[in-house]
Structure 1
Amino acid sequence: MAGIDNVGQNGSLSYIDQLKKLQEQKKPDEVTGKQDLKQEDFLSLLTKQLAQQDPFKPVSNDQMIAQMASFATVDGIGKMNSQFESLNSSMTSNQALQASSLVGRDVLVPGASGVKKDQGNMAAMVKLPASVDNLLVRIEDAAGQLVRTFDVGAKPAGDNRVEWDGKDQSGNPLPGGKYKVKASGLVDGKSKEFDVSTYANVNSVLLGKGDGNVLLNLAGFDSPVRLAEVLEVGKA
């Protein structure tokens, strides 16, 4: 093979070193197929080295076994990576198939911004670190203007669902679109803002760009969210 004739007669270069040397000599414009070195390349290098070794200083059995083991390890890692890629692709496809059943359903995702339909209310989930006597909910429109405030009363620690009827402070129905839900209350005598998650309807499912993620396109959302971010699946 090209580039092997200049190997020293004493066999000082290991098989792995020769493999690296051969890889460096393989230029892209000289190879039309894959540039990976296969087992047949290793066997050719092994035969070449054995033929060129110094008969008075042959490679010892220990050296040969160690170098063969090194090659086997490298080859095994390559095969393992290939198997992991295949497994990851299969798992992603299965996730996408399962996620397709979510199309048309409401899912709960982190974030205070949600979408209200033209007719109907809007639901959210408030996570409370401790019970509160008066949970205050504030609704802001897409421009950040406060359009409604209401008190939902005492709530226990944990996840608490709250619903807004879609009307302003005067009782007038508001148009559909994006709204932000904020929640606050007194904890140990101090006012505190709480984490809020909102519901959104799933329009479609798509695969990530080779990263194994399954993404959900949500109605009214500018960018998709990862399936792993979904906290709860609601009604269709």
Structure 2
Amino acid sequence: MKKFILLLLILSFTNAFSQEYHFDYFVKYKFQSKQKKEKRTENFEFLSIVNSKDYSYQINFRAESRDTMTATITDLKNNLQHYFHVTNTTFPLSKLNFDYKYSKRIPSAKKQLEDESKRRFFRSEFVGKQNDGLSRYLINEYTNGKMKKPRVSAEVIFADFQDDLSYIGLQFLFDYYEIYNKVKFEKNYIVKSASAKSENLEIVLSLDSIEPQNFDIKINPDQLKFQN
């Protein structure tokens, strides 16, 4: 009986470290930032794969060289990051495109997010529908709960969408992962384009592409390799 109980405990412990993720959209944004004082302009591309029903994790890509790309699953619910080599990016993607390398624990993630949440204050205002059917909003971020003078002012153009992917573009625009807890809408949107201004920064964001996906990535306990 003791051996049986011990076996159950071992199995439970093992399964706790099995990680499985589902993905249903690939999203690519073009991003331009202008530093006013430094008179410097930079252009980026942000590539993400997400689960439209679970915002707690997503895949982000990074080009290591012209021929090498890596991907990271950031899993805030379990305080983990999983790193992969990307074999190719031909659509539709599958788990075979991601060659698992190692994982890292991010034990302080929850506290960092809680602390940041206390410092972030937003207000969104619907301006109206454009002639092309897109919806225009003004979204401001403030330095405190009094919400008097905005720290960042953004004009955001949303397109109606079957799932709510509004948070993805807003994450890049305001550099805030959990913005979906602060800015909510009564219908499903995706950010089509946006511009934002702060004291020393101007940002322009535009949706480059979106591709439906349908694949899972599962990392079994015997695969997990932690690097801290």
User: Would you say same fold, with TM above 0.5?
Assistant: no
Between Structure 1 and Structure 2, the one with more helix by share is 1
Q: TM-score, normalised by structure 1?
A: 0.21
Q: Which has the larger radius of gyration?
A: 1
Judging by fraction of residues, say which structure has more strand.
2
TM-score by length of 2: 0.22
Using CA pairs under 8 Å that are at least 6 residues apart, name the structure with larger relative contact order, 1 or 2: 2
